[in-house]
Amino acid sequence: MARVEAFLADQVAVRADAMALTDSIGTAWSFADLDRASDALADVLRAAGVSANDRVLMLSENCAAAVAALFACWKMDAVVIPVNARQTEGEVKRIMDHATPAAVLMTSAVSKDAVQHAERMGATEQTGAFGSMHLAALPSNPDADLHDVATLLYTTGTTGDPKGVMMTHDNMRFGGMASSGLRDMTADDVVYGVLPLTHVFGLVSVITGACYSGATVQQEARFSAKALYDAIMNGVTVLPAVPQMHALVMQYTKEQGLSKLDSPSLRYVSSGGAPLDPAWKRKAEAFYGLPLQNGFGMTETTSGASATRNALGSPDISVGPPTPGTEVKIDDQAPGGNGNGTGELLVRGPHVMKGYYRNPVETDKALSADGWLRTGDLGKIDEVGHIHILGRSKELIIHGGFNVYPPEVEAALNDHPQVIQSAVIGRMKDGDEQVLAFVQIAEGDDLDAAELRDFVKERLTGYKRPSQIVLGTSLPAAPTGKILKHKLLEAFADQLE
């Protein structure tokens, strides 16, 4: 079995002194440095009793030491569980109770939250070629069923039974190579690494893909529109991001009195996590002066299952054709389907997860016997084979008997020049599901809900229009920048009718 750490070994063999990583605390490592750092951290883990097929939970924010921890675990055939350090004690405990790790690593040098977890667990500081991390050792508990698994990623916002996605070495290698190929990444590239490596986008599309191609990753612990702007203007060539990041850097640039970027280095920009609206896509492409590539992926597909490779100005707002080696089809009889080509997207290929760890019931629901993954996303495939995502089946709003897809309503709202971003959810009231819209505007803007309601009348038929529009200067968001829709009702409870 080929393994992920072979990507690092390949770079060390041919270009050991080339830059692999930088981070927000001033670390600058060559591939040889990363190799040495991961070896040193593997020695620390072995001394703590970690062995092959054990789990190592890593409470982290992006930094060079976190990348060293990934490779340390893979080199010793342990399974790494990246978890964002900003998760609460209860959220972390839930994952630990399910995964039973043999050790917990914390990136205490870059994260105050990691320090708090370390203090709570009585962790000890470890120093070496990897810098400084905290470690809490627990009883070893190897699991032979994990012999081919590289990483466990626990899906965001799950309820009920834990769902730890088992990503094999083959999954991650395929995902990294596919991501590198789609971006035409080379050893000359500098990739902006603010997408958390505790999520599949940052872990596979950025870290694994860059290591395969020999590119440099500029790691950032937390997102900042100013930091992103500065990076784009100072050497970054590849920008993988989610729509919220694009919206916020465009707003920041506007506040500086500029209408667009003029980066001397940026050559590739992508967006993932939400469908594109044609007007917003044109706005973003005018801002960057580059085509905005879109794609679709999820934790269970170990990164992208499809992506565009469009020219600047292309009207295509799909998530592109399937990545090479990937199969897709539509189940139009699934919930939310229309029996006529619109339905749940199914995916099959070398990047589809092994299953959910210690959860055969959920695994059987998600994976068919012949390898098809039910994504839970509603979509359709157009006449040229490009996939269009309409939204999550669980987020589908049924208002007055009609299907309302939140991304379509969000796209209409986002067309307004004073709207930074928006989120639409459903809420049951008086026996029907209301369409609620939460909209972020800039501090001091005079936009009101009535004006925005009039604006969307021209863009949305009656049953799709929000019954209430709530305005605010921020929306609850995950470390990726993705809006946390399940927290909207709580965050704006005092404004709801």
What does the DSSP assignment read for 216-261? Answer: EEEE-SS--HHHHHHHHTTT--EEEE-HHHHHHHHHHHHHTT-SS-
Which of 131, 152, 170 represents a domain boundary (last residue)?
170
CATH number at residue 92: 3.40.50.980
Do β-strands 402-404 and 419-429 pair in parallel, antiparallel, or remain unpaired?
A: unpaired
Domain span at 105: 5-170
Is 218 a member of any domain?
no
**Same domain for 26 and 100?**
yes
Is 241 a member of any domain?
yes
CATH number at residue 367: 3.40.50.12780
CATH number at residue 439: 3.30.300.30
Is 204 a member of any domain?
no
Is 46 a member of any domain?
yes
Which of 393, 423, 447 represents a domain boundary (last residue)?
393
pLDDT given for residue 157 in this prediction? 41
pLDDT given for residue 278 in this prediction? 79
**Same domain for 106 and 252?**
no
Give per-residue pLDDT as tens, 446-478.
899 999 999 998 888 888 899 999 999 999 987
Q: What percent of the chain clears pLDDT 90, i.e. is strictly above it?
A: 75
> Token digits for 229?
């702007």
Distance CA(271)–CA(275), nearest Å, equals 9
Identify the CA nearest to 204 among candidates 296, 301, 349. 301
- Residues in CB range of 104: below 8 A, 6 or more apart: 56, 57, 58, 59, 96, 117, 121, 123, 135, 136, 138
Query: What pTM, to 2 d.p., does this model score?
Result: 0.85
Calculate mean pLDDT across residues 364-386.
95
**Same domain for 125 and 249?**
no
Distance CA(330)–CA(444), nearest Å, equals 45
State yes or no: pLDDT of 406 exceeds 60.
yes
Q: CA–CA distance from 238 to each of 169, 194, 231, 443 (Å)?
A: 25, 12, 11, 30
Q: How many domains does the chain have?
A: 3
Give per-residue pLDDT as tens, 274-302.
667 777 788 899 999 999 999 999 899 99
**Same domain for 381 and 478?**
no
Is 200 a member of any domain?
no
**Same domain for 236 and 336?**
yes
Which of 146, 170, 194 represents a domain boundary (last residue)?
170
**Same domain for 307 and 389?**
yes
Contact indicator for 336, 343 with CB cutoff of 8 Å? yes
State yes or no: pLDDT of 392 exceeds 80.
no
**Same domain for 146 and 123?**
yes
> Token digits for 80?
């790494």
**Same domain for 284 and 356?**
yes
State yes or no: pLDDT of 113 exceeds 50.
yes
**Better-scored residue on pLDDT, 58 or 420:** 58
Q: Is 438 helix (H, G, I), strand (E, B) or coil?
A: strand
pLDDT given for residue 428 in this prediction? 80
Q: Residue 153 corresponds to which amino acid?
A: L
Give per-residue pLDDT as tens, 330-358.
999 988 788 889 999 999 999 999 999 99
Phi/psi for 40 (5° steps) reads: -65, -40
Is 277 a member of any domain?
yes
**Same domain for 304 and 339?**
yes
CA 327 to chain centre: 22
**Same domain for 372 and 239?**
yes
pLDDT given for residue 158 in this prediction? 37
Is 359 a member of any domain?
yes
> Token digits for 49?
């009793």
- Residues in CB range of 318: below 8 A, 6 or more apart: 294, 308, 382, 386, 387, 388
**Same domain for 435 and 357?**
no
Give per-residue pLDDT as tens, 150-206.
999 998 543 455 689 999 999 999 999 999 999 999 999 999 999 999 989 999 999
Is 467 a member of any domain?
yes
**Same domain for 260 and 132?**
no
